[in-house]
Amino acid sequence: MILLDGKKLSEKIKVQLLEQSRQLKNENGRSPHLAAVLVGENPASVAYVNNKIRSCRQCEIGSALIKLEDTISEKELLEEIDRLNADENTDGILVQLPLPPHINPDVIASAIHPEKDVDGFHPLNAGKLSFGLPCFEPATPKGIMLMLEHYNISLSGKHAVVIGRSNIVGRPMSIMLSAASANATVTLCHSRTSNLEEFTRQADILIAALGKPGFVKAGMIKRGTVVIDVGITRIEDPTRKNGYRLTGDVDFDNVAPLCSAITPVPGGVGPMTIIGLLSNTLRAAEVK
């Protein structure tokens, strides 16, 4: 069984991204720049955004963290996005999800200029993705594709089963795996799928992105499967200094012995998501 080490791979790719970032600075007269918008203080979101900012710094990508109160209105948030859209020193914009319930994430995604949409959530980029046209690909599926490529895991003709149909991971993942550049045969399962195990047991590659800790059990997969665990849920754990531990969607201890390869949580998909974002930010800086 191969452990797909996203942490190690991401450190290696960051060296290349640093080079690209320096080159863009030479060409553009300034470093690439990302604006990260955080609404409220959801502890997981705070941790993710801080991690993104730290990674920007490592690659000499400029960044601004824009912290807004969770009482901000949708209109005020749209005004902030308009300001960033108009700012010629901002190449990429991300609004960390989830947003408070009174703000519609689809409205926000549609407001970000498509050429600054480094999350790839704007409908124009989502449409281009589904047509196989050049676009910003959502960071998590992009990072997963890079990881599969790095570990020489072939996809052509393989049966990839995705659990979860979110716009952030499952849906774009299914599109990217079935694209002509990958050629997998894809089954997209979700909360209303009947007899889920029937599908997961057929998977050559199983992507678990449903956000239910330990959901994928050993009895749900066949021997030799590649398992990609996108889940990252905080579970209370008084034995830890910070009071919680991060748990994936896969029952790792029992599933791992059956797999040909599997991602750990943490240290698997998470660091690769950041690579997807940084690489999109450099691409956004290239557009001009």
Please state the closest distance from residue 71 (CB atom) to ligand GUN, in A.
Answer: 20
CA nearest neighbour of 284 among 144, 169, 142, 135: 135
CA distance 141 to 121: 12
User: Which one of 13, 94, 148, 282 is in contact with ligand GUN (CB under 6 A)?
Assistant: 94
Interacting residue with ligand GUN among 97, 124, 153, 258 (CB under 6 A): 97
Residue of 5, 80, 119, 251 interacting with ligand GUN (CB under 6 A)? 119
Least Cβ distance, residue 254 to ligand GUN (angstroms) = 27
> 2: exposed, middle or buried (C-beta count within 10 Å: 0-12, 13-18, 19+)?
exposed
The single-letter code of the amino acid at 13 is I
Q: How far is the CB of 36 from ligand GUN (least distance, A)?
A: 8
Q: Which residue is nearest to ligand GUN (CB)?
A: 97
The binder of ligand GUN chosen from 56, 111, 139, 274 (CB under 6 A): 139
CA-to-CA distance for 158 and 136, rounded, in angstroms?
A: 25
Contact between 206 and ligand GUN per CB under 6 A = no
| Phi and psi, residue 109, nearest 5° | -60, -40
Cite the active site residues: 52, 96, 119
In the complex, the smallest distance separating the C-beta of residue 173 from ligand GUN, rounded to whole angstroms, is 12
Considering only residues 60 to 89 of the shown chain, the ones binding ligand GUN according to CB under 6 A are none
User: How many residues in the shown chain lie near ligand GUN by CB under 6 A?
Assistant: 9
Cβ contact 148:207 at 8 Å: no
Handedness of CA 261, 265, 267, 269 (dihedral sign): positive
Q: By the 8 A CB rule, do 219 and 254 touch?
A: no
Q: How far is the CB of 34 from ligand GUN (least distance, A)?
A: 11
Write out the binding residues for ligand GUN, residues 251-280 only, by CB under 6 A.
Answer: 273
Tell me if residue 164 falls in helix, strand or coil. Answer: coil
Give the pair of three-digit tokens for residue 192.
Answer: 């209303």
Site for ligand GUN (CB under 6 A): which residue of 10, 21, 55, 140?
140
Q: Among 55, 96, 200, 279, which residue interacts with ligand GUN (rule: CB under 6 A)?
A: 96
Strands 62-68 and 33-39, bridge-based pairing: parallel
Residues near ligand GUN, by CB under 6 A: 94-97, 119, 139-140, 168, 273
